[in-house]
Amino acid sequence: MKGSLVLALNLGLVLSLGCAQQQNVLVVRNVTVIDGTGADAKRAMTVVIEGRRIAAIGKDESLVYPASGHVIDGTGKYLIPGLWDMHVHLRDLDGTLALFIVNGVTTVRDMGSDLELTAAMREEIEAGRLVGPRIKTAGMAVESSNWVAQYIDLMREQGADEEAVEKFLNTRIMVGDPREARTVVDSLRALGADFIKIRHAQSPEVFAAIAAAAADAGTHLVGHYVWILSLEESADGGQRSIEHNIFPGFDERTPEQKQAIFEALLRNDTHLVPTLVTNAIQTLDFEGVRAIAEDVDGSIDARNRYVSRTIREGWIETVALDAADDERPPPEVIQQMIASSNRFLLEARQAGVKMMAGTDVPTTGTFLGFSLHDELALLVETYGMTPMEALRSATALPAAFMGLDAEVGTIEVGKRADLVLLDADPLADVKNTRLVDTVIASGRVFDRATREEILSEIGASIAGGANRAGAN
Protein backbone atom coordinates (compact mmCIF):
# COMPACT_ATOMS: atom_id res chain seq x y z
CA MET A 1 0.00 0.00 0.00
CA LYS A 2 2.80 2.41 0.83
CA GLY A 3 4.38 1.79 -2.57
CA SER A 4 1.18 2.90 -4.25
CA LEU A 5 1.07 5.99 -2.08
CA VAL A 6 4.59 6.95 -3.14
CA LEU A 7 3.56 6.42 -6.75
CA ALA A 8 0.59 8.74 -6.20
CA LEU A 9 2.95 11.37 -4.82
CA ASN A 10 5.03 11.14 -7.98
CA LEU A 11 2.14 11.56 -10.38
CA GLY A 12 1.89 15.09 -11.70
CA LEU A 13 5.24 16.07 -10.23
CA VAL A 14 7.44 14.01 -12.51
CA LEU A 15 5.63 15.56 -15.46
CA SER A 16 6.52 18.98 -14.10
CA LEU A 17 10.12 17.95 -13.65
CA GLY A 18 10.49 17.71 -17.40
CA CYS A 19 9.63 21.40 -17.69
CA ALA A 20 12.48 22.48 -15.45
CA GLN A 21 15.84 23.16 -17.06
CA GLN A 22 19.06 21.48 -15.93
CA GLN A 23 21.99 23.34 -17.49
CA ASN A 24 25.67 22.43 -17.33
CA VAL A 25 26.49 26.13 -17.02
CA LEU A 26 23.97 28.66 -15.74
CA VAL A 27 24.71 32.38 -15.41
CA VAL A 28 22.67 34.94 -13.48
CA ARG A 29 23.88 38.33 -14.71
CA ASN A 30 23.64 41.86 -13.33
CA VAL A 31 21.77 40.88 -10.17
CA THR A 32 21.81 42.25 -6.63
CA VAL A 33 23.12 39.45 -4.39
CA ILE A 34 21.95 39.16 -0.78
CA ASP A 35 24.18 36.29 0.21
CA GLY A 36 22.71 35.38 3.61
CA THR A 37 25.90 35.96 5.57
CA GLY A 38 24.56 39.25 6.94
CA ALA A 39 26.79 41.30 4.63
CA ASP A 40 25.37 44.23 2.70
CA ALA A 41 23.72 43.55 -0.63
CA LYS A 42 26.14 43.46 -3.55
CA ARG A 43 24.84 45.14 -6.70
CA ALA A 44 25.49 44.37 -10.38
CA MET A 45 26.94 40.93 -9.69
CA THR A 46 27.13 37.82 -11.84
CA VAL A 47 26.77 34.32 -10.41
CA VAL A 48 28.05 31.36 -12.42
CA ILE A 49 26.70 27.89 -11.68
CA GLU A 50 28.27 24.70 -12.99
CA GLY A 51 26.12 21.63 -12.53
CA ARG A 52 24.72 21.83 -9.02
CA ARG A 53 27.25 24.22 -7.51
CA ILE A 54 28.17 27.87 -7.54
CA ALA A 55 31.40 28.21 -9.50
CA ALA A 56 32.04 31.96 -9.41
CA ILE A 57 30.63 35.24 -8.08
CA GLY A 58 31.84 38.65 -9.19
CA LYS A 59 31.51 41.51 -11.61
CA ASP A 60 30.62 40.26 -15.06
CA GLU A 61 33.71 41.67 -16.74
CA SER A 62 35.97 39.83 -14.31
CA LEU A 63 34.46 36.39 -14.93
CA VAL A 64 35.01 33.86 -17.68
CA TYR A 65 32.22 31.46 -18.60
CA PRO A 66 31.15 29.63 -21.77
CA ALA A 67 29.14 31.62 -24.29
CA SER A 68 26.85 28.59 -24.53
CA GLY A 69 25.85 28.93 -20.88
CA HIS A 70 22.19 29.57 -20.13
CA VAL A 71 21.92 33.22 -19.06
CA ILE A 72 19.26 34.67 -16.76
CA ASP A 73 19.02 38.46 -16.83
CA GLY A 74 18.98 39.62 -13.21
CA THR A 75 18.64 43.32 -13.96
CA GLY A 76 16.46 44.92 -11.31
CA LYS A 77 16.18 41.63 -9.40
CA TYR A 78 17.53 40.23 -6.13
CA LEU A 79 19.16 36.86 -5.52
CA ILE A 80 18.83 35.22 -2.10
CA PRO A 81 19.72 31.73 -0.82
CA GLY A 82 17.08 29.03 -1.09
CA LEU A 83 14.68 29.21 1.85
CA TRP A 84 14.21 26.66 4.63
CA ASP A 85 11.01 25.76 6.45
CA MET A 86 12.21 24.37 9.76
CA HIS A 87 8.91 22.86 10.89
CA VAL A 88 6.77 20.90 8.45
CA HIS A 89 4.91 17.59 8.47
CA LEU A 90 5.14 15.69 5.17
CA ARG A 91 1.77 13.98 5.25
CA ASP A 92 -1.35 13.80 3.06
CA LEU A 93 0.46 15.60 0.23
CA ASP A 94 -1.34 13.93 -2.70
CA GLY A 95 1.02 15.37 -5.31
CA THR A 96 1.48 18.85 -3.80
CA LEU A 97 5.09 18.53 -2.63
CA ALA A 98 6.33 20.79 -5.46
CA LEU A 99 4.57 23.74 -3.80
CA PHE A 100 7.67 24.19 -1.66
CA ILE A 101 9.88 24.62 -4.72
CA VAL A 102 7.35 26.91 -6.42
CA ASN A 103 7.67 29.22 -3.40
CA GLY A 104 11.47 29.13 -3.16
CA VAL A 105 11.58 26.70 -0.22
CA THR A 106 14.43 24.40 -1.20
CA THR A 107 14.91 22.58 2.14
CA VAL A 108 12.47 21.45 4.84
CA ARG A 109 12.86 19.94 8.27
CA ASP A 110 10.13 17.33 8.64
CA MET A 111 9.07 17.19 12.28
CA GLY A 112 6.94 14.08 12.24
CA SER A 113 5.62 11.84 9.50
CA ASP A 114 5.48 8.27 8.28
CA LEU A 115 9.24 7.64 8.07
CA GLU A 116 9.04 5.01 5.33
CA LEU A 117 7.07 7.30 3.02
CA THR A 118 9.21 10.33 3.79
CA ALA A 119 12.44 8.43 3.21
CA ALA A 120 11.08 7.25 -0.14
CA MET A 121 10.23 10.83 -1.14
CA ARG A 122 13.67 12.00 -0.08
CA GLU A 123 15.31 9.34 -2.24
CA GLU A 124 13.19 10.28 -5.28
CA ILE A 125 14.04 13.98 -4.87
CA GLU A 126 17.75 13.34 -4.46
CA ALA A 127 17.72 11.17 -7.59
CA GLY A 128 16.04 13.95 -9.57
CA ARG A 129 12.89 11.93 -10.25
CA LEU A 130 10.57 14.03 -8.07
CA VAL A 131 10.15 17.78 -7.71
CA GLY A 132 10.50 18.73 -4.07
CA PRO A 133 12.74 20.27 -1.43
CA ARG A 134 15.74 18.69 0.24
CA ILE A 135 14.30 16.79 3.22
CA LYS A 136 15.72 16.39 6.67
CA THR A 137 13.37 14.27 8.75
CA ALA A 138 12.69 13.03 12.24
CA GLY A 139 10.26 10.47 10.92
CA MET A 140 8.09 9.29 13.77
CA ALA A 141 7.84 11.62 16.76
CA VAL A 142 8.83 10.20 20.14
CA GLU A 143 5.93 10.18 22.57
CA SER A 144 5.03 9.20 26.09
CA SER A 145 3.31 5.79 26.07
CA ASN A 146 0.74 7.04 28.55
CA TRP A 147 -0.09 10.11 26.44
CA VAL A 148 -0.53 8.06 23.25
CA ALA A 149 -2.83 5.57 25.00
CA GLN A 150 -4.99 8.40 26.35
CA TYR A 151 -5.10 10.14 22.97
CA ILE A 152 -6.14 6.97 21.13
CA ASP A 153 -8.95 6.47 23.68
CA LEU A 154 -10.06 10.05 22.97
CA MET A 155 -9.92 9.46 19.20
CA ARG A 156 -12.17 6.42 19.53
CA GLU A 157 -14.58 8.23 21.84
CA GLN A 158 -14.90 10.95 19.21
CA GLY A 159 -15.72 8.41 16.51
CA ALA A 160 -12.36 7.77 14.84
CA ASP A 161 -12.16 4.44 13.01
CA GLU A 162 -9.25 2.01 13.20
CA GLU A 163 -7.77 3.27 9.93
CA ALA A 164 -7.47 6.74 11.46
CA VAL A 165 -5.88 5.27 14.59
CA GLU A 166 -3.38 3.32 12.48
CA LYS A 167 -2.52 6.42 10.46
CA PHE A 168 -1.87 8.31 13.70
CA LEU A 169 0.34 5.54 15.07
CA ASN A 170 2.41 5.46 11.86
CA THR A 171 3.75 8.90 12.80
CA ARG A 172 4.49 8.17 16.49
CA ILE A 173 6.81 5.92 18.44
CA MET A 174 6.41 5.37 22.16
CA VAL A 175 8.94 5.31 24.98
CA GLY A 176 7.55 4.36 28.36
CA ASP A 177 10.73 3.44 30.17
CA PRO A 178 14.34 4.74 30.11
CA ARG A 179 15.52 1.30 29.00
CA GLU A 180 13.48 1.60 25.79
CA ALA A 181 15.03 4.91 24.74
CA ARG A 182 18.18 3.60 23.09
CA THR A 183 16.32 0.91 21.12
CA VAL A 184 13.84 3.47 19.81
CA VAL A 185 16.48 6.04 18.88
CA ASP A 186 18.70 3.47 17.18
CA SER A 187 15.76 2.07 15.22
CA LEU A 188 14.75 5.54 13.98
CA ARG A 189 18.30 6.26 12.90
CA ALA A 190 18.54 2.90 11.12
CA LEU A 191 15.35 3.69 9.21
CA GLY A 192 16.78 7.00 8.02
CA ALA A 193 15.84 9.62 10.61
CA ASP A 194 18.23 12.60 10.56
CA PHE A 195 17.43 13.67 14.13
CA ILE A 196 15.06 12.83 16.97
CA LYS A 197 11.88 14.76 17.75
CA ILE A 198 10.16 14.55 21.13
CA ARG A 199 6.61 15.68 21.91
CA HIS A 200 5.91 14.20 25.34
CA ALA A 201 8.10 12.41 27.85
CA GLN A 202 6.86 9.90 30.40
CA SER A 203 9.23 11.23 33.05
CA PRO A 204 12.39 13.33 33.42
CA GLU A 205 14.36 10.08 33.47
CA VAL A 206 12.88 9.03 30.12
CA PHE A 207 13.69 12.43 28.63
CA ALA A 208 17.29 12.16 29.82
CA ALA A 209 17.61 8.66 28.37
CA ILE A 210 16.24 9.78 24.97
CA ALA A 211 18.60 12.78 24.88
CA ALA A 212 21.59 10.60 25.82
CA ALA A 213 20.69 8.00 23.19
CA ALA A 214 20.40 10.71 20.53
CA ALA A 215 23.80 12.12 21.43
CA ASP A 216 25.39 8.68 21.39
CA ALA A 217 23.84 8.06 17.97
CA GLY A 218 25.54 11.19 16.64
CA THR A 219 22.43 13.28 16.25
CA HIS A 220 20.42 15.81 18.23
CA LEU A 221 17.10 16.06 20.03
CA VAL A 222 14.49 18.66 19.10
CA GLY A 223 10.81 19.10 19.79
CA HIS A 224 8.04 20.63 21.83
CA TYR A 225 8.41 22.23 25.22
CA VAL A 226 8.27 19.15 27.45
CA TRP A 227 6.13 20.55 30.23
CA ILE A 228 7.35 18.15 32.95
CA LEU A 229 10.72 19.93 32.76
CA SER A 230 11.73 23.56 33.06
CA LEU A 231 13.12 25.23 29.96
CA GLU A 232 16.51 25.30 31.63
CA GLU A 233 16.34 21.54 32.20
CA SER A 234 15.29 20.92 28.60
CA ALA A 235 18.19 22.97 27.24
CA ASP A 236 20.78 21.65 29.67
CA GLY A 237 19.45 18.14 29.06
CA GLY A 238 20.28 18.32 25.35
CA GLN A 239 17.19 19.63 23.53
CA ARG A 240 18.55 21.71 20.63
CA SER A 241 15.34 23.40 19.47
CA ILE A 242 12.02 24.20 21.07
CA GLU A 243 9.01 24.49 18.80
CA HIS A 244 5.83 26.59 18.80
CA ASN A 245 4.44 28.84 21.50
CA ILE A 246 5.65 28.23 25.04
CA PHE A 247 2.59 28.10 27.29
CA PRO A 248 1.44 29.20 29.79
CA GLY A 249 3.87 32.08 29.32
CA PHE A 250 6.23 33.65 31.80
CA ASP A 251 4.57 36.91 32.75
CA GLU A 252 4.86 36.08 36.44
CA ARG A 253 8.60 35.38 36.30
CA THR A 254 10.99 38.03 37.52
CA PRO A 255 13.54 39.52 35.12
CA GLU A 256 16.23 37.53 36.92
CA GLN A 257 14.32 34.27 36.49
CA LYS A 258 13.79 34.90 32.80
CA GLN A 259 17.44 35.83 32.36
CA ALA A 260 18.39 32.45 33.86
CA ILE A 261 16.25 30.76 31.19
CA PHE A 262 17.83 32.81 28.40
CA GLU A 263 21.32 31.98 29.66
CA ALA A 264 20.49 28.25 29.59
CA LEU A 265 19.23 28.53 26.01
CA LEU A 266 22.30 30.51 24.98
CA ARG A 267 24.93 28.28 26.59
CA ASN A 268 23.38 25.22 24.93
CA ASP A 269 22.79 26.98 21.60
CA THR A 270 19.15 25.94 21.85
CA HIS A 271 17.11 27.55 19.07
CA LEU A 272 13.46 28.62 19.07
CA VAL A 273 11.00 27.93 16.23
CA PRO A 274 7.84 29.85 17.17
CA THR A 275 5.66 28.92 14.11
CA LEU A 276 3.79 32.21 14.41
CA VAL A 277 1.77 31.58 11.27
CA THR A 278 -0.32 28.99 13.12
CA ASN A 279 -1.55 31.51 15.70
CA ALA A 280 -4.04 33.58 13.71
CA ILE A 281 -6.50 30.78 13.06
CA GLN A 282 -6.42 29.76 16.72
CA THR A 283 -8.03 33.07 17.68
CA LEU A 284 -10.95 32.83 15.22
CA ASP A 285 -14.38 31.55 16.21
CA PHE A 286 -15.33 28.13 14.92
CA GLU A 287 -17.45 29.50 12.10
CA GLY A 288 -14.49 31.53 10.84
CA VAL A 289 -12.17 28.52 11.00
CA ARG A 290 -14.75 26.29 9.33
CA ALA A 291 -15.13 28.77 6.47
CA ILE A 292 -11.38 28.67 5.82
CA ALA A 293 -11.26 24.86 6.07
CA GLU A 294 -14.09 24.50 3.56
CA ASP A 295 -12.81 27.17 1.12
CA VAL A 296 -12.15 24.68 -1.69
CA ASP A 297 -12.41 27.19 -4.54
CA GLY A 298 -10.13 29.77 -2.90
CA SER A 299 -12.75 32.50 -2.59
CA ILE A 300 -11.43 33.44 0.88
CA ASP A 301 -7.77 32.71 0.14
CA ALA A 302 -6.57 31.79 -3.36
CA ARG A 303 -3.95 29.47 -1.86
CA ASN A 304 -6.76 27.12 -0.80
CA ARG A 305 -6.93 25.92 -4.41
CA TYR A 306 -3.64 24.10 -3.82
CA VAL A 307 -4.56 22.30 -0.58
CA SER A 308 -4.80 18.55 -1.13
CA ARG A 309 -8.13 16.89 -0.60
CA THR A 310 -6.70 14.72 2.20
CA ILE A 311 -5.25 17.71 4.04
CA ARG A 312 -8.55 19.58 3.71
CA GLU A 313 -10.47 16.62 5.10
CA GLY A 314 -8.11 16.69 8.08
CA TRP A 315 -8.74 20.41 8.57
CA ILE A 316 -12.51 19.91 8.55
CA GLU A 317 -12.26 17.01 10.99
CA THR A 318 -10.03 19.06 13.32
CA VAL A 319 -12.53 21.95 13.32
CA ALA A 320 -15.34 19.57 14.23
CA LEU A 321 -13.34 17.98 17.05
CA ASP A 322 -12.31 21.37 18.44
CA ALA A 323 -15.90 22.61 18.32
CA ALA A 324 -17.02 19.55 20.26
CA ASP A 325 -14.29 19.91 22.89
CA ASP A 326 -15.92 21.44 25.96
CA GLU A 327 -12.52 21.91 27.61
CA ARG A 328 -11.01 23.95 24.77
CA PRO A 329 -10.42 27.58 25.84
CA PRO A 330 -12.41 30.23 23.95
CA PRO A 331 -10.56 32.23 21.25
CA GLU A 332 -10.07 35.26 23.49
CA VAL A 333 -8.30 33.15 26.13
CA ILE A 334 -6.12 31.52 23.49
CA GLN A 335 -5.24 35.01 22.24
CA GLN A 336 -4.12 35.99 25.75
CA MET A 337 -1.99 32.85 26.00
CA ILE A 338 -0.38 33.54 22.63
CA ALA A 339 0.31 37.15 23.61
CA SER A 340 1.97 35.99 26.83
CA SER A 341 4.12 33.49 24.93
CA ASN A 342 5.12 36.14 22.40
CA ARG A 343 6.18 38.57 25.13
CA PHE A 344 8.52 35.93 26.48
CA LEU A 345 9.83 34.94 23.05
CA LEU A 346 10.43 38.59 22.17
CA GLU A 347 12.56 38.97 25.29
CA ALA A 348 14.41 35.76 24.41
CA ARG A 349 15.26 37.11 20.96
CA GLN A 350 16.38 40.41 22.46
CA ALA A 351 18.65 38.42 24.78
CA GLY A 352 20.30 36.84 21.73
CA VAL A 353 18.54 33.47 21.59
CA LYS A 354 18.46 32.26 17.97
CA MET A 355 15.16 31.85 16.13
CA MET A 356 14.42 29.92 12.96
CA ALA A 357 11.47 30.17 10.61
CA GLY A 358 8.95 27.33 10.55
CA THR A 359 5.27 27.00 9.71
CA ASP A 360 3.90 23.66 11.02
CA VAL A 361 2.28 23.01 7.64
CA PRO A 362 -0.18 21.47 6.93
CA THR A 363 -2.00 22.41 10.14
CA THR A 364 -5.33 24.15 9.56
CA GLY A 365 -4.98 27.37 7.59
CA THR A 366 -1.32 26.90 6.60
CA PHE A 367 -0.14 26.36 3.05
CA LEU A 368 2.84 24.35 1.80
CA GLY A 369 5.55 26.76 0.67
CA PHE A 370 3.34 29.85 0.72
CA SER A 371 3.14 30.14 4.51
CA LEU A 372 6.91 30.41 4.97
CA HIS A 373 6.68 33.93 3.49
CA ASP A 374 3.96 34.80 6.00
CA GLU A 375 6.20 33.52 8.79
CA LEU A 376 9.07 35.79 7.73
CA ALA A 377 6.76 38.82 7.82
CA LEU A 378 5.47 37.81 11.26
CA LEU A 379 9.00 37.45 12.64
CA VAL A 380 9.61 41.07 11.66
CA GLU A 381 6.25 42.33 12.93
CA THR A 382 6.12 40.35 16.18
CA TYR A 383 9.72 40.16 17.35
CA GLY A 384 11.20 43.23 15.71
CA MET A 385 13.61 41.35 13.47
CA THR A 386 15.15 43.28 10.63
CA PRO A 387 14.40 41.86 7.17
CA MET A 388 18.00 40.61 7.06
CA GLU A 389 17.57 38.77 10.37
CA ALA A 390 14.33 37.25 9.14
CA LEU A 391 16.00 36.09 5.94
CA ARG A 392 18.85 34.52 7.89
CA SER A 393 16.31 32.73 10.10
CA ALA A 394 15.26 30.84 6.97
CA THR A 395 18.66 30.42 5.29
CA ALA A 396 22.01 30.58 7.09
CA LEU A 397 20.80 29.76 10.62
CA PRO A 398 18.92 26.57 9.68
CA ALA A 399 21.82 25.38 7.53
CA ALA A 400 24.26 25.85 10.43
CA PHE A 401 21.82 24.25 12.88
CA MET A 402 21.57 21.15 10.70
CA GLY A 403 25.34 21.02 10.13
CA LEU A 404 24.95 21.81 6.43
CA ASP A 405 26.46 25.29 6.38
CA ALA A 406 29.39 24.10 4.29
CA GLU A 407 26.89 23.04 1.62
CA VAL A 408 23.96 25.46 1.64
CA GLY A 409 22.41 28.44 3.43
CA THR A 410 24.45 31.24 1.85
CA ILE A 411 25.49 32.28 -1.64
CA GLU A 412 29.18 31.41 -1.77
CA VAL A 413 31.51 29.74 -4.25
CA GLY A 414 31.50 25.97 -3.89
CA LYS A 415 28.08 25.73 -2.29
CA ARG A 416 24.99 24.11 -3.73
CA ALA A 417 23.08 26.28 -6.16
CA ASP A 418 19.93 26.68 -4.05
CA LEU A 419 18.84 30.20 -4.99
CA VAL A 420 15.73 32.35 -5.32
CA LEU A 421 15.48 35.28 -7.75
CA LEU A 422 13.07 37.96 -6.52
CA ASP A 423 11.40 40.82 -8.37
CA ALA A 424 11.84 43.28 -5.47
CA ASP A 425 14.20 44.00 -2.59
CA PRO A 426 13.46 41.83 0.49
CA LEU A 427 15.63 44.08 2.67
CA ALA A 428 13.33 47.02 1.91
CA ASP A 429 10.29 44.89 2.81
CA VAL A 430 10.58 41.24 3.80
CA LYS A 431 7.18 40.62 2.21
CA ASN A 432 8.96 40.92 -1.12
CA THR A 433 10.15 37.33 -0.67
CA ARG A 434 6.73 36.43 -2.04
CA LEU A 435 7.63 38.02 -5.40
CA VAL A 436 9.46 35.01 -6.79
CA ASP A 437 10.64 35.12 -10.40
CA THR A 438 12.84 32.01 -10.59
CA VAL A 439 13.86 29.22 -8.24
CA ILE A 440 17.12 27.31 -8.66
CA ALA A 441 17.19 24.06 -6.70
CA SER A 442 20.51 22.19 -6.85
CA GLY A 443 21.18 23.86 -10.18
CA ARG A 444 17.78 23.03 -11.68
CA VAL A 445 15.91 26.09 -12.95
CA PHE A 446 12.21 26.63 -12.26
CA ASP A 447 11.44 29.84 -14.09
CA ARG A 448 8.19 31.77 -13.86
CA ALA A 449 6.50 29.81 -16.64
CA THR A 450 7.51 26.46 -15.14
CA ARG A 451 6.33 27.46 -11.69
CA GLU A 452 2.99 28.63 -13.07
CA GLU A 453 2.64 25.35 -14.95
CA ILE A 454 3.27 23.37 -11.78
CA LEU A 455 0.65 25.41 -9.93
CA SER A 456 -1.80 24.88 -12.76
CA GLU A 457 -1.22 21.12 -12.72
CA ILE A 458 -1.67 20.90 -8.95
CA GLY A 459 -4.78 23.10 -8.93
CA ALA A 460 -6.36 21.13 -11.78
CA SER A 461 -5.58 17.81 -10.12
CA ILE A 462 -7.17 18.89 -6.84
CA ALA A 463 -10.21 20.41 -8.53
CA GLY A 464 -10.67 17.29 -10.62
CA GLY A 465 -10.47 15.11 -7.54
CA ALA A 466 -13.02 17.26 -5.74
CA ASN A 467 -15.36 17.08 -8.73
CA ARG A 468 -15.06 13.30 -8.94
CA ALA A 469 -15.72 13.00 -5.21
CA GLY A 470 -18.80 15.19 -5.55
CA ALA A 471 -20.13 13.00 -8.35
CA ASN A 472 -19.99 9.82 -6.28
Alpha carbon distance 65, 63 (integer Å): 7
What pLDDT, on the 0 to 100 scale, is given for residue 466? 55
Cα dihedral sign, 316-136-25-19? negative
What pLDDT, on the 0 to 100 scale, is given for residue 18? 43
What pLDDT, on the 0 to 100 scale, is given for residue 12? 39
What pLDDT, on the 0 to 100 scale, is given for residue 297? 95
What pLDDT, on the 0 to 100 scale, is given for residue 4? 39
What pLDDT, on the 0 to 100 scale, is given for residue 22? 60
> What pLDDT digit, counting tens, does each position of 395-445 carry?
999 999 999 999 999 999 999 999 999 999 999 999 999 999 999 999 999
Residue 308: CA atoms inside 13 Å, Cβ hemisphere, count?
Answer: 20
> What pLDDT digit, counting tens, does each position of 301-356 carry?
999 999 999 999 999 988 988 888 888 899 999 999 999 999 999 999 999 999 99
Mean pLDDT of each 10-residue bin along the chain, 472 residues long = 43 46 85 98 98 97 91 98 98 97 98 95 96 97 88 79 81 92 96 96 96 97 95 97 91 96 98 96 92 96 97 93 85 94 97 98 98 98 98 98 98 98 98 98 97 98 68 37
